[in-house]
Amino acid sequence: MSECVVVKIGSSSLTSDEGGLNRNKISFFASELASIRKTGKQVLLVTSGAVAAGFRRIGYQTRPKLVHEKQAAAAVGQALLMQAYQEAFAAYGIGVAQILLTRADFSNRRRIQNAQMTIEELLRQGILPIINENDTVSTDELDLKFGDNDMLSALVGNLLKASHLVILTDTDGLYMEDPRKNPAAPRIDRVEQISEDIMRIAGGSGSSVGTGGMRSKIEAARIAMRGGVPAFIGRVVENGDLLLAVEGTGRGTYFTAQGHNLPMKKQWLGYHSQVKGRITVDRGAELAVTTGGKSLLPAGILSTNGDFHPGDVVEVVNQEQHTIGRGVVNYAAWQVQAAMGLGTDEVRRRVDVGRIEVIHRDEWVTLA
């Protein structure tokens, strides 16, 4: 399969401030995506905008607040959104396909593998997949799930081992300060590693129509980088801007992925799996699993939370309750409680377990 570019477009880039689709904007982005395909690269679009497109049509005067109202607006708006895309891409002889995903799809290995095979087949057949979250069946608050699809675009990019992830926003990249408040604020052109300083710089949501802020985009870039996918966050407002973004000279910030390439198994473990419990560890165990390449042993465990069983995924936190990673646990929760703080020989005498490691290093991913 040729190089694949994943492009994410948010609600504010597709709609007016009052809501409803802006057909001129959609036609513009269709033209930009078509220009990427002309270079021989495959293109996949992750789009927001269903709720924003539908709430006026359904009769709401403002963007709804209640979940069932948002889901109703999304049900109306998704059809309008796909119709607009279908007509816009038809002008370039490009067929499109709709794929709706939820968090639960990524949590289930078989379901997400099926989605991957479908997407890859569509790309082979020259169809442009258009992915959105399935808002009408999602059970969580719509504004808290994928961050206006920023996270979704990163997960899809990693799933397909994309060559580029392009996240479009209304500002031309990440700035040291809010450029709306300080026009002289310097832009960060390239990020090699996402530090806590970078996260602090990221601001909140900037649009009344969309739901994603710069912070959710930085989080998405972090996940893409871990999967070996370089990311771009910036603006595409003029003809040719998207091609420039892919070629490395776009109006925005680039996040490099050099030295990163988390295997798909560990990507699933770290970002898709459903966590069934939590284990708190001491400083020695924290260093052992995060930097020492060691397995998690009972001696370094301080406490547990949740009712988990062997084979479940658990979150591991340090003494400050900061998440340091996830892993597949070999113990039930009650067994961890019985063994925690004990040495290996004592554990073998007291607890009947198949293996001494609570989490083996091969079933662990560091997220700190």
Q: What percent of the chain has pLDDT over 90?
A: 65
The model's confidence at residue 143, banded by pLDDT at 50, 70 and 90, is very low
- Does pLDDT of 182 surpass 90? no
Asked whether 332 and 310 are in contact (CB, 8 A), the reply is yes
Binding residues: 8, 48, 135, 149, 169-170, 211-217
Give the residue-averaged pLDDT of 249-275: 83
d(C-alpha 5, C-alpha 22), whole Å: 24
Binding residues for substrate: 48, 135, 149
What would the CATH number be for the domain defined by 4-262?
A: 3.40.1160.10
Angle (nearest 5°) at CA 200 between 277 and 141? 50
Give the residue-averaged pLDDT of 92-107: 91
Binding residues for ATP: 8, 169-170, 211-217
Of 328, 335, 334, 330, nearest to 313 (Cα)?
328
d(C-alpha 280, C-alpha 114), whole Å: 35
The model's confidence at residue 99, banded by pLDDT at 50, 70 and 90, is very high
Give the residue-averaged pLDDT of 358-365: 96
Q: What is the pLDDT of residues 8-34, one digit of tens each?
A: 999 889 988 777 899 999 999 999 999
Q: What is the pLDDT of residues 22-76, one digit of tens each?
A: 999 999 999 999 999 999 999 999 999 999 899 989 889 888 889 889 999 999 9
Q: What share of the chain is helix, strand, coil (3-state, %, to 5)?
A: 40, 20, 40
d(C-alpha 198, C-alpha 307), whole Å: 36
Q: Lowest-confidence range among 83-92, 94-103, 140-149, 212-221? A: 140-149
- Does pLDDT of 6 surpass 90? yes
Give the residue-averaged pLDDT of 347-353: 92
Q: What is the pLDDT of residue 211?
A: 38
Q: What is the pLDDT of residue 344?
A: 93
Residue span(s) of the chain under CATH 2.30.130.10 come to 274-366
Residue span(s) of the chain under CATH 3.40.1160.10 come to 4-262
Asked whether 333 and 321 are in contact (CB, 8 A), the reply is no
d(C-alpha 355, C-alpha 360), whole Å: 9
The model's confidence at residue 140, banded by pLDDT at 50, 70 and 90, is low
What would the CATH number be for the domain defined by 274-366?
A: 2.30.130.10
- Does pLDDT of 348 surpass 60? yes
pTM summary value: 0.81
Asked whether 13 and 29 are in contact (CB, 8 A), the reply is yes
Three-state DSSP state, 129: strand
Query: What tokens appear for 213 in the block?
Result: 């802020």
Asked whether 353 and 326 are in contact (CB, 8 A), the reply is no
